Amino acid sequence: MKRIIMLLLTALAAMAALAGCTQKPDETRDLDTKLRVTTTIFPPYDFTREIAGGLVNLTMLLPPASESHSYEPTPKDIIALQNSDVFIYVGGESDDWVERVLASMDTSKMTLIGLIDSVKALEEESVEGMQADEEEGEALDEHIWTAPRNAISIVRAIAAALAQKDAANAENYRRRAAEYIAQLEELHRSFEAATIHAARRTIVFADRFPFRYLADAYKLTYFAAFPGCSTETEPSAATVAFLIDKIRAEKIPVVFHIELSNERMADTISEATGAKKLLLHACHNISKQDFTNGVRCIDLYRRNAENLKEALR
Ligand SMILES: [Zn+2]
């Protein structure tokens, strides 16, 4: 690994020398003065974009529409990381590669932000009827961004780091973060409105369940086929039967699936029970089209609040 990185760095130096001759002066200045921020997955990318707008050069390593749990950095990603002033990752199980790669780099001038340290992390949970992976032991649930109040803590951590690293724009980062936090507070209130006086508190997922923090924040009970970071997608007949029985017994009106899912299990359960199939978007990643269109986590989460309201009737 070390040797590969050394080769990459040599190649990079050569590329930078070439780029110097071909770039227009404006672009060069841009690259030289703007803070370079790299994130692993979509939520920190999206939050940083809200806080920094065009003030930073922002890169997301995970390609849009790809699976966040099996991501491994490419040589190009390692170059992007090495060139960063700020690197933002979650710090859960899916980021096992981060420490390994950072250990082989000079990170003395880099600000590193592991977001799991900015919230009260909860352990991944296995509930009745759930098909858990064999080797799954006790691990922190890494889907920390799915509850609005957690998102606020994360935004504060990112904004503080940007302001410290780029003092000239500190006021801008603080102002934009405050505006975004106000929107997240409003989102929190719409989740409260959807849940506080709801007729029921139980939700059913024909999918993985990356919403432990959301369920905890709004006191929801959940049943799901798999834990949040499971690599499994094919449920056993017993798992499907359990979820169908749950929906029938409690007359639950909605069966959820998550984003970038094949939705097959949700279709099966919806057909068997008459429950409506709806999306609860965890914002792990978004489609290429949504990425190009600039779709934001908060847009997806506002729709989540609407869908949750429908599920709790
Ligand atoms: Zn996950």
The helix-helix angle for 297-311 and 42-52 (nearest 10°) equals 120
User: How far away, in angstroms, is 284 Cα from ligand 1 center?
Assistant: 7
In this predicted structure, the answer to whether residue 10 has a pLDDT above a threshold of 90 is: no
Mean pLDDT, residues 251-271 = 96
Q: What is the pLDDT of residues 88-101, one digit of tens each?
A: 999 988 888 999 99
Residue 95 CA, ligand 1 centroid: distance in Å: 10
Backbone angles phi, psi at 178, to 5 degrees: -65, -40
Ligand 1: centre distance to CA 229 (Å): 4
- 69 band by pLDDT with thresholds 50, 70 and 90: confident
CA–centroid distance, 9 to ligand 1, in Å, is 31
What is the per-residue burial (b if ≥16 Cβ within 10 Å, else e) of 127-138?
eebbbeeeeeee
- pLDDT confidence of residue 13: 44
Output the CA 286–ligand 1 centroid distance in Å: 13
User: Ligand 1 mean position to 179 CA, how many Å?
Assistant: 28
Rounded distance from Cα 143 to ligand 1 centre (Å): 6
- Give the Å distance between the CA of 231 and the centre of ligand 1: 10
pLDDT reported for residue 51: 98
Q: Output the CA 211–ligand 1 centroid distance in Å.
A: 9
Q: What's the mean pLDDT in 36-44? A: 97
pLDDT in tens, 154-213: 999 999 999 999 999 999 999 999 999 999 999 999 999 999 999 999 999 999 999 999
CB-based contact 66:183 (threshold 8 Å) = no
pTM exceeding 0.85: yes
What's the whole-number mean pLDDT along residues 41-60?
97
Distance from the alpha carbon of residue 70 to the mean position of ligand 1, in angstroms: 10
